[in-house]
Structure 1
Amino acid sequence: MSASTTAQRKATDQDHLQVGGHSPRVLLSRVGGQNLSLLAALTLVLCFFGVLNPDYLSWSNIEVIAEAATITGLLAVVQTVVIICGALDISVGSQAGLASVISAIAFTATASNAFLGIGTAMVVGALIGLFNGAVIVYGRVNAVIATLAGLAAYKGVAQLISDGRAQGYVLNDTLFVFLGRGRIAGLPAMVWLLLGVSACLHVLLKRTDIGRNVYALGGNDTAARLTGINLNKYLLAVYTLSGIIASLAGILLTARTGSGQPVSGSEGLELQAITAAALGGCALKGGKGGVGGTLLAVALLGALQNGLTVQGINTFWQNIAQGLLLVCAVIIQQRRNGARAVGLPA
């Protein structure tokens, strides 16, 4: 057998391995090092708390983790799109609280019409998102400052129209009961909704020209503008999308708790969403990230929070752990990107 024939056979065998997905390098490139790290961390968390408490890995507790993570997951996946675009939306938690109140109030005011209650909240969410985008684009306000103002303002509006109390009662309606407590193929309806929204956003980002333009804007907005991409229109659209998904999270909050919640259940969600997006691989400067990594990070945070709760750990420590995770995620990103230390020359 000639040397050339042997070389061809080796190359063919290597191709077969790669096609079959057996090459570690191919697997790593497809799954991503960030996602593999999150999978490893999630496995460690599940095993650790599973050893401490065997009931932790029971199917009923897994469902509890999934349901609790759904609202955060919705906000995290849309925050992923916003961050990839090179922006940030700190007001999503307050938007969810406001949508929760509006959906319950509209439901009660329209003779218990769930569709009108949900539709009203979604329209208000879209208008809020559009308003955020307009302040940033036409008011020339930094995205962090604009949405930080929204964080306070929308929370205040929710408290004002609700007098600071839970509003309405929606658990006498079939649709709200299904959204909050229904099951499809053994999984909570809320989880299916999160998976559906995530799949749509993943396709939007990875399989369409719109998604490619979003990555381009976050990576280098000047170059993107020179290629003809309208930055202002994309920012308005992305923030409108953020408002719609945030309102959907608020509707699920109403369905899960049975009433509109102005603050309880929505406070702190913006930090959780940003933490999940950063842990999932989103570069806070924009241009990098994906929905899959964010979902893994949401699962990791949900498993960790549930495990600490099951072990009776004070919620104050849970907040500390969440803050530390966010800092660690950003440090890892900065190291990978080769960012210089503050105060040192470039």
Structure 2
Amino acid sequence: MKTTDEAPRLAGGSPGVPAPSPGARWRALVAPLGQQLAPFTIVFVICVVLWILTPHFLTTSNILGNLVQMSSLAIIAVGATMVIVAAGIDLSVSTVVGLAGVVSTVSIVEYGTGVPLGLLAGVAAGGLVGLVNGLLVSKLGLPAFITTLGTLSVCGGAALLITDGKAVYGLPDGFKWLGNGTVLGIPVPIVLMLVVAFAGHFLLSRTTLGRAAYAIGGNPETARLSGINVAAILIALYVISGLLAGLAGILEASRVVSGQPTAGTNYNLNAIAAAVIGGASLFGGEGRIVGAVVGAMILQLIGNGSNLLNISTFWQSVIVGVVVILAVLYDQIRHRRARKAT
């Protein structure tokens, strides 16, 4: 008589446990790849459709214009993705853009700090807001949604108070280089976007900070028990998000060569949308910087295609909203299937 230990084993499996079917093994291999390639597929389809519908799409000026216009959103989306990976959210980034822009321009025009220090002041203002968000969320345990919604309002009001609700003009010619200059023929905003994307990818995929962010997003209590300083990591992630929003703010101010206190409207929604469309999960523990940049590109292509096809800006908002809902719905369905599988 055969004992339990002598029972047949399949492919190194446990006794009595049937090996997965070829179809199941194939789905397990293909599903993650399909999820990663989905945003790129969407970009390809949109480009083909626009190429067919309008001859003005595949022109050098239009392609460069799209990349320049999406640069600020992509930079913010990198920070948003890092926060979302750790199961957080930052809704304050849109008004941080305006605040950073006016802090930078007011520093230069009214206090004579010079362009370099003025730019640093704007970025630092964003980092300070991120630090406040991180401390409130990690140290006081406040919900990230409510906390960043509060700082969204505070930053918007602060930008209006600093400027008395008026745009800041009279900036030196050197200020506009960041938003309108070139490096080796490549517009500076595109260069900054690529640098931020590579740096964000490296931080999230190759450093202890990134590994800790994924662990916290997967299960914060388990991460804490494994020795991760959850509070410190969350603070660092929110500071990074604030710094990148500040960078986008001075970039926007440089592009229009003025400080606009209301700049950055809807960047919070669009940054989160770009992250989710690019594969980040609002449940935490999932997300890639490349996906966030591609998500920003999808949103930019929707706007550009609508303009080229003379579609109303009202419909553009509807289209973006539908895309966001579908992305979140897909994320929900995927997680329900994963829970059922376990």
Q: CA deviation at 1:177?
A: 2.4
Shift of 1:30: 12
Q: Contact 1:112–1:173 (CA<8 Å) still a contact in 2?
A: no
How much does 1:253 deviate? 0.6
C-alpha contact (below 8 Å) 1:42/1:299 kept by paired residues: yes
Shift of 1:112: 6.3
Equivalent residue for 1:98?
Answer: 99
Q: Give 4+ residue runs of structure 1 displaced > 6 Å after superposition.
A: 28-31
Cα-to-partner distance string for 1:94-151 (whole Å, 9 max, x where unaligned): 1111001111100112436101211111222221111111121233210000001111
Please state how far the C-alpha of 1:190 moved relative to its aligned partner: 0.5
Residues 208-243 of structure 1 deviation map (CA, whole Å, 9 limit, x = unaligned)? 122111100111111100001111111111111111
Number of aligned positions between the proteins: 313
1:321-336 alignment, distance < 5 Å:
321-336=319-334
Partner amino acid for 2:80?
Q
Alignment of 1:6-45 (within 5 A): 32-45=33-46
Aligned to 2:282: 284
The TM-score, its normalising length taken from structure 1, stands at: 0.86
Contact 2:75 2:248 in 1 (8 A): yes
2:122 equivalent in structure 1: 121
Choose 72-81 or 104-113, whichever is displaced more. Answer: 104-113
Task: Flag the 1:259–1:30 CA change in 2: closer, same or farther, 3 A.
Answer: farther
Task: Give the corresponding residue for 1:70.
Answer: 71
TM-score by length of 2: 0.87
The Cα shift of 1:340 comes to: 10
Distance (Å, rounded) in 1 between the aligned partners of 2:183 and 2:116 = 20
Contact 1:98/1:262, CA 8 A, preserved across alignment: yes
Return the alpha-carbon distance in structure 2 between the equivalents of residues 189 and 150 of structure 1: 30
Residue 298 of structure 1 is matched in structure 2 by 296
Q: Distance in 2 between matches of 1:31 and 1:60?
A: 36
Query: Partner residue of 1:4?
Result: none
Q: What does the per-residue CA deviation read over 1:261-300, in whole Å, with 9 as the maximum and x for residues that have no partner?
A: 1114x11001000000000100101110100111111111
In structure 1, the residue matched to 2:142 is 141
Runs (5+) with no aligned partner, structure 1: 1-24
Could you tell me which amino acid in structure 1 is paired with residue 230 of structure 2? L
Give 1:217's aligned amino acid: I
Distance in 2 (alpha carbons) for counterparts of 1:132 and 1:43: 37
Which SS does the other structure have where 2:87 is aligned?
Answer: coil
CA contact (8 A) 2:129 2:151 kept: no
Are the aligned partners of 2:217 and 2:283 in contact in 1 as well (CA < 8 Å)? Answer: yes
How far residue 161 of structure 1 moved from its aligned partner, in angstroms, is 1.1
Report the Cα distance in structure 2 between the residues aligned to 1:151 and 1:136, rounded to whole angstroms: 14
Say whether residues 1:259 and 2:255 are aligned partners. no
Contact 1:205 1:211 in 2 (8 A): yes
Residue 165 of structure 1 aligns with an amino acid whose one-letter code is: K
In structure 1, what is the equivalent of residue 213 of structure 2? 214
Deviation of 1:31 after TM superposition, in Å, equals: 9.0
Corresponding residue for residue 10 of structure 1: none
In the alignment, does 2:192 pair up with 1:193? yes
Which blocks of at least 5 consecutive residues in structure 2 are unaligned?
Answer: 1-25
Mapped pair 1:173 → 2:173: yes
Kept in 1, the 8 Å contact 2:99–2:125? The answer is: no
- Using the aligned pairs only, state the percent identity: 36
Which whole-Å CA distance do the structure 2 matches of 1:224 and 1:135 have between them? 20
Task: Give me the whole-angstrom Cα distance separating, in 2, the residues matched to 1:222 and 1:277.
Answer: 25
Change (3 A) 1:136 1:92: same
Q: How much does 1:322 deviate?
A: 1.0
User: Using a 3 Å threshold, how does the CA distance of structure 1 residues 117 and 30 change in structure 2: closer, same or farther?
Assistant: farther
Q: Which amino acid aligns with 2:67?
A: A
